[in-house]
Structure 1
Amino acid sequence: MIDDLGTIDWAAVWIDVAEQLAAHRSAGLKHLLTEDTVRMSTVLALQRAGVEPGQLAIEVSDPVLRGGKLDLVATGSATRAVIELKYPRGSRVGASPDTMIRGELLRDFLRVALTPATDRWVVAVLEPELRRYLARLSAPQWKSEVGDQIILAREELESLPKTARDAIGPLAWALPVQARCVVATPVGVDLALFAYQVQAPADGTVPGPLTTIDTAIRTPRPLPDVARSPRNGTARSEILDAIHALTSRSGSPEVAVQQVVDEMRRSGSRYAESTVRTMLTSHMCAQVQGSNIGSYDDVDRVDRGTYRLRQPGT
């Protein structure tokens, strides 16, 4: 039994977890791996590090999370380690899946920072497509090299797309939150495991919920000439307006289709979701061509369900 969890070689624990997952994949079990597999692998790795089963608990409620539960908690005589695990598998059906996953990942950092503990960890097993998506984004910037620091500031979180903010939730978060990447290691051919040690909030930090930034007071940036529509009120012009509003608010040049749909609903657009999706992903996309498709070349498709306004001359 380990009384002081701070003496554990945590980096070795996370490498052990990655090796277990890689072995499962090599054995033909890739399609059966889930977040629960990651958790059990963590339990076994901690046992090998000297932690007794009686020191471990899963789905642990904590009053500060108001009904929320932590994935895994290890307890020593005077120490406590809280661990949140993520293994998002492929795309989801529904609203802006990558944006939602981004919010859920960020929420894990906020949850462990808020929870009383001596050691706080967020461990994410990520597929390459999601890693590329996260790497393209800023405010807050996702870091994935050993030694990198992630800083989650209130203003940046409040400027996230609504889908991500909703995934983070309404709790009173202690911000800013800082975390350091301790392990970044492959899991077989395409997956990778990232382990982040999260710092406790600074003394005197006053928790508070995220608020929505009022974009009505922002000065809009002019759209590129190629993206302007001479036909105000058309589906195309409203889509362009929605993209402009989203990119101004998030600071990212890229938008998901569902974000555009949500933004147009919020602004009271009369166009059906199917019309918006067809217009954006077919008629306005430079990469889609065809005899029955009117192409305006307004946007480029940069990833699954993700688009960017074209710049003049492209």
Structure 2
Amino acid sequence: MSATRLTVGWVPLTDVAVLIAAAERGFAAREGLDLVPVREASWANTRDKLVFGHFDAAHMLAPLAVATTLGLGHVALPLVAPFMFNLGGNAVTVSRPLAAALAAHGGLTGDLADAGAALGAVARERLAAGQGPLTFAAVFPFSTHAYQLRLLFLAAGLDPERDVRLVVVPPPFMVDALRRGLVDGFCVGSPWNSVAVDQGVGTILLLGNAIVPRAPEKVLAVPAERAQAPEIAALIRALAAAAAWCATPENRADLAALLAEPRHLDAPAEVVRRTLDGALVIDGAGTVRSDPDFLLLGANRPEPRQADWLADAMVAAGHLPQDAGNAARAVFRADLYDAALAARTRG
């Protein structure tokens, strides 16, 4: 019997590890799938190709799956998220000049309150001097990154709509934007924060868990009309097996080398390994900040509480009306995840 071909779009980030491992370490083949991951530069491209039928599924920002289902800023396509690729993995990185200014106010401790107080002081100093607002980048308007930045701005006593400028930059271009002085800081998934530090253009201000512990990040997004298809259940099982492999420390060297390849992240294997280990070099002096939960690849069931957090964050940002809280729960489909794994158990 020939394998069922599935194309899945993805954006170059360490949290795509489970998808790449499923395709290249045999987990998809064991489920009778010919899994073809297709690299895209931006979340807009990934969403568009899924919506218009060029992909069977996608590695997608969890809030974007909700926004796409509701047609926020785009045509609507109902999606389901039956698998969680990862929790966490983001960080906030700032330019070296901004880091120096924040350090003068005690803002580089890794604590949200300290970072917020320092950022607020620096931002107000700039505004008082007529220098204009600081510019920060997130990867997409409907993203955990944007919501984490909003929480940082609020901790700074800053109005996210008035006192700072928030722009969108695709993950692979974040370091270039910082190097060229187009942004003062950004929130992005690994490895791009670490790449900015290693290339001498950035300092990691906060790890994501300092803002939102275990934030729901990327999901497997599938058109709702295909939610019950047997190949989707097979894909969930393949991803679950790959996630268990990725979450095993003994496999990290192999995984880091695989992800570091030019066709994947095109980043040094050592940098990728540090993000997998949760031991990040945060500045030019080689300071290491460790968080074993920085990037969790083995927590894959889409939980209702994660959907509730997303809904609250989207409402707070003005992306959802107050009465739309159930929209995220309708996308997060733990029942599909459970059914797929139960079928493997029965088999």
What TM-score, normalized by structure 2, do the two folds share?
0.22
Which is bigger in relative contact order (C-alpha 8 A, separation at least 6)?
2
What TM-score, normalized by structure 1, do the two folds share?
0.24
Which structure would you say has the larger Rg? Answer: 1
